[in-house]
Structure 1
């Protein structure tokens, strides 16, 4: 579970909800539980609890220690600094491969919203099945697109290679944050939004990372062996996994469509309010007279 982001664009909202500028994954934005707690509950029937790892960032320890008080320290990967999703994925893969060289891995963001967790689970099960059948590929879970969003990644679909229980499709192209005109075209073509829920064999993931950002994995492996992660992270540039690793390699990607889970990325205060309105959700902080300005975030 990826829970190391800073959530800077939503800090104006988390400050008013929680009284501090905590990252959104540790905030109770939708419902009584934090987004991280909701993510854990959403996948509890899919993955055995002892196989769950959490990638966090050390600066957020005051938040994740309470959230993960029931989790053994060996399953918490604390990064010295936030260096983006690509580095978080790489450090998780190195930890996983030390424990299980044949592992099938699922990466799950901990700051997203679903209106139907059961539908989400069905799509993830199909993605796991696809990854087991095609060990050299990475399977993306793509949500049905409803409008031309320019802040999301888009998955342009190719031919179906399986139809049971949910279609498994080839990927023609991965578009990361397209222009509005491109997004309108992608919507018309029936392309999917990238949810970042991503499944594949650990070695397939590692191969993708090494082929696109070749210095990251060796630097992390050396730093782990020498207990010098702080130095390695200070010197390492941030890596965006979607843009720098997935987008250049569509031939290695497959996709499972998730058409009914109501997925959304809570990326800005405006989007949060839109999701709450569309789903008729009124959390306690909103009932208490929260005043929202679209200029915030």
Structure 2
């Protein structure tokens, strides 16, 4: 373990595409989608041996922190950095960097996600070690995922010149970041072979990322400096509560990564990665039964049911299906979702409809 290497887990998201199980009080990262460990617990599990618990920080909103602490009590309570409200990943990154700068000015931070599947843990740790070496040369480093399909739901990273191999991992300068493409464009990216999926995971020194924020987002930098100054004083809570709502929401990709000059990508990592962006994506990370069905946290009896997903709330209620093919059924106890697998991405639209029609008790 390297003493100056820290993990920062972003754990404040809502995951609306996994409604009705993912709701405000129990967002995506708190769900157990394999019937065993929650996504947050799995995110911490895969850091074992590389980051001790005292060097794992979690950035989340206050109402989620207690439940996350209950799931992973080994992370010290003071390592939970509370956002008064979501303000985008640029503020999350800056917040964590400002706090780490107080604790360890020479820190290198790996910014990681709380709600993704990563199957190849040993490879993942090797990639993080390699990325740390690159970051220590003054680069902002992102992890690229080798595309397996012309996906339209991910951003892409185009690789530029090679920077060589670090720890056995090939590293390139980033030529440009590209937004989520249409299918024809994504197919072109795949055929060219010089694009990776943007995983949303980053590695950099605290010093470098704070310098980039000062350069590209000076207003945010000033507010982070005020928070940092008050951090070890009795005024911390009051200063954070006063300043945080005034921060303009922005992503770190748009605010920093697309503008910075020294940006590198550890390319084409084959991590068994999936961002679990829809119910249908579970078929990519879990193994079905002899009929191709996935049953998660449910008692299920199926007749002539094939290639379907059945998710329960862990209760003893029996879910019975007859004649289902390529369907999704999710029972949260208070709401029931039924849709074809091909329509799984539209769940986000349902959440919007619930809000518009006043069904807030189901959110």
TM above 0.5, yes or no, is yes
> How much does 1:272 deviate?
3.3
Q: Does 1:123 align with 2:127?
A: yes
Say how many residue pairs are matched. 290
Unaligned runs of 5+ in 2: 1-8, 301-309, 312-328, 330-337, 349-363
The residue number in structure 1 matching 2:297 is 285
Of structures 1 and 2, the larger Rg is shown by 2
From the two aligned structures, give the one with the greater helix fraction: 1
The residue number in structure 1 matching 2:14 is 6
CA distance in structure 1 between the aligned counterparts of 2:78 and 2:21, rounded to whole angstroms: 32
Q: Does 1:50 align with 2:54?
A: yes
Q: 1:89 to 1:201 in 2, by over 3 A?
A: same
Q: 1:72 to 1:260 in 2, by over 3 A?
A: same
Instruction: Tell me if the contact between 1:11 and 1:23 (Cα under 8 Å) persists in the aligned partners.
Output: no
CA distance in structure 2 between the aligned counterparts of 1:194 and 1:278, rounded to whole angstroms: 28
The 3-state SS of whatever aligns with 2:197 is: strand
> How much does 1:275 deviate?
3.8
> How much does 1:42 deviate?
0.5
Give the RMSD, CA atoms, in angstroms.
Answer: 2.4
Instruction: Tell me if the contact between 1:2 and 1:110 (Cα under 8 Å) persists in the aligned partners.
Output: yes
Give the TM-score taking structure 1 as reference length: 0.88
Indicate which of 336, 347, 354 corresponds to 1:296. 347
1:79-158 to structure 2, matched below 5 A, reads 79-132=83-136, 134=137, 136-158=138-160
Higher alpha-carbon deviation: 120-129 or 49-58: 120-129
Greater relative contact order structure (CA < 8 Å, 6+ sep): 1
Instruction: Tell me if the contact between 2:41 and 2:72 (Cα under 8 Å) persists in the aligned partners.
Output: no
Instruction: Tell me if the contact between 1:11 and 1:22 (Cα under 8 Å) persists in the aligned partners.
Output: no
Q: Deviations over 1:214-269 (max 9, x none)?
A: 211211332452532122222222111122221223x3211112432111111222
The residue number in structure 2 matching 1:175 is 178
CA distance in structure 1 between the aligned counterparts of 2:287 and 2:142, rounded to whole angstroms: 28
CA distance in structure 1 between the aligned counterparts of 2:296 and 2:35, rounded to whole angstroms: 8
Give the TM-score taking structure 2 as reference length: 0.73
Q: 1:259 to 1:104 in 2, by over 3 A?
A: closer
CA distance in structure 1 between the aligned counterparts of 2:183 and 2:111, rounded to whole angstroms: 28
CA distance in structure 2 between the aligned counterparts of 1:195 and 1:278, rounded to whole angstroms: 26
From the two aligned structures, give the one with the greater strand fraction: 2
